[in-house]
Amino acid sequence: MEDGTGQMRRLLVVDDERIQRLIVARAVETLGFTTDAAATLQEAAALLGSQRYDAVVLDLSLGEAEGISLLQALRDSAGDPLVIFISRLDSRVRAASTRLAAAFGLRVAGALEKPVAPGTLRALLRSEPPSLPSRPRPAASAPTAEDLAGALARGELGAEFQPKVALPDGRIVGVEALARWRRADSTVIPPDLFIPIAEQNGLIEALTAQILQYALAACRRWRPGHPTCSVAVNISPLVLTNANLPEYIDHLLQEAHLGPGALVAEITESSVIANPLVAAEVLTRLRIKGVSLSIDDFGTGHSSLLTLLRLPFSELKIDRSFVSHCDTDPEAWKIVRATISMARELGLTVVAEGVETEEVAARLRTAGCDIGQGWHFGRPMPEDGLLEWMAARLVAVA
Ligand code: C2E
Ligand code: MG
Ligand code: MG
């Protein structure tokens, strides 16, 4: 068989077990692959350096060596080979290797348990995963610190608002403000692109101030109709090293004619807290003043159990990477359920973010999760859209 361009396709199988090399070579024969085989890392590296491959089948355990030591060589090799892992190790090791290879920018079709089932291997080879988006973005698309400073000066930064909904009865209990940069030409830049730039260039305090003002002003407008609906603002850990933050937030709340209960500070704890003592003091003072503190993206490695015990959080948000597919992924569901029960034991309000379907919402409700946030309830929207959403919801829930 040919690949449509008149060329034979070439596959490399790397496995220290001869019988497995033969099984793979035989299995792919009918797809028209010519197969080369390597038993060691060295042999494989030499072949990858001298020959272009369309696909590579790689055993994760090569005697004393690990197959994933070849990821760099695969990335540097000519062409863009489709990679398939094979292993006798458990599914979690196979999945971790797949993710690692994807993070390296390789095209991974999947990982199979050994002994390899020929039909499954052929099916994977027929699938053509797209080149992964994890390859670095071209630098040109990322805004510069100067662009951002200009945008802050021109007041181009605002927020969209996403509802947080009580799972037992569907009532709106809060709204998260998510920063958006709307350029003069109406293009909108998402926060993942400009928050790191703000953090790295001393602009994060100015940015946080602008979002806080924007969010509190909006909250002030919806409070008459929804007196208990709070607004949550994301606070970078870098900002917590400013000991004046509690007074500043007090001042902003007064200016907006709001009590401290109107604000929730969402914090992703990361290793970059330069001064943990000041951060702990700032958080404690905010909490004493009556501002709620939420630990964001819980479970992603930024936040730890120690953080929960050490700092006065009142709310825990389970990261969407566990929540969004917890109805189909039994392991994600176990983590979600255990986190809900731990948070409840600790007396924390528990929020699930990334709720995309009613199936997930129903599961969370049954497991005792307090609040849900996600596309199923409402996408992030501008203030006028939020007010419409709130009005429609009030009628629906009443
Ligand atoms: P986050 O605080 O965890 O915010 C939730 C993110 O999940 C938002 O992405 C939201 O649009 C997205 N999301 C909400 N529901 C769903 C869903 O059902 N499915 C999926 N797949 N995604 C959902 P967004 O707006 O792109 O924000 C990304 C991150 O940027 C935020 O994550 C937060 O860490 C950061 N960020 C946003 N605004 C600010 C800000 O004002 N200051 C700081 N320091 N960070 C901010
Ligand atoms: Mg957040
Ligand atoms: Mg989050």
User: DSSP secondary structure string, 263-285?
Assistant: EEEEE---TT-S-HHHHHHHHHH
Ligand 2 centre distance from Cα of residue 319 (Å): 9
pLDDT recorded at residue 138: 40
What CATH number is associated with residue 228? 3.20.20.450
With respect to residue 138, please indicate whether it lies within any of the assigned structural domains: no
Each residue of 189-228: pLDDT tens digit?
A: 999 999 999 999 999 999 999 999 999 999 999 999 999 9
Mark whether 85 and 111 lie in a shared domain.
yes
Mark whether 183 and 332 lie in a shared domain.
yes
- pLDDT confidence of 131, banded at 50, 70, 90? low
Which residue's CA is minimally distant from atom 25 of ligand 1?
178
Does the structure show a pLDDT above 70 at 90? yes
Range of 77's domain?
A: 10-127
Question: Could you tell which of 203, 353, 355, 373 is best to mutate to test the pocket of ligand 1, judged by most ligand atoms within 8 Å of the CB?
Answer: 353
Ligand 3 centre distance from Cα of residue 317 (Å): 7
Those residues with Cβ within 8 angstroms of residue 326's Cβ, 6 or more apart along the chain or in another chain: 332, 333, 336, 360, 363, 364
Mark whether 112 and 159 lie in a shared domain.
no
Mark whether 183 and 71 lie in a shared domain.
no
Does the structure show a pLDDT above 70 at 132? no
Mark whether 121 and 237 lie in a shared domain.
no
Mark whether 170 and 297 lie in a shared domain.
yes
Does the structure show a pLDDT above 50 at 140? no
Number of compact structural domains in the chain: 2
Mark whether 120 and 156 lie in a shared domain.
no
With respect to residue 136, please indicate whether it lies within any of the assigned structural domains: no
Q: What is the mean pLDDT of the chain?
A: 90
Mark whether 207 and 113 lie in a shared domain.
no
What is the share, in percent, of the chain residues with pLDDT greater than 70? 92
What CATH number is associated with residue 37? 3.40.50.2300
Q: What sections of 256-376 are H helices per DSSP? A: 276-289, 305-310, 320-323, 330-345, 358-366
104 vs 23 pLDDT, higher one: 23
With respect to residue 348, please indicate whether it lies within any of the assigned structural domains: yes
Mark whether 118 and 155 lie in a shared domain.
no
Ligand 3 centre distance from Cα of residue 252 (Å): 24
Mark whether 206 and 87 lie in a shared domain.
no
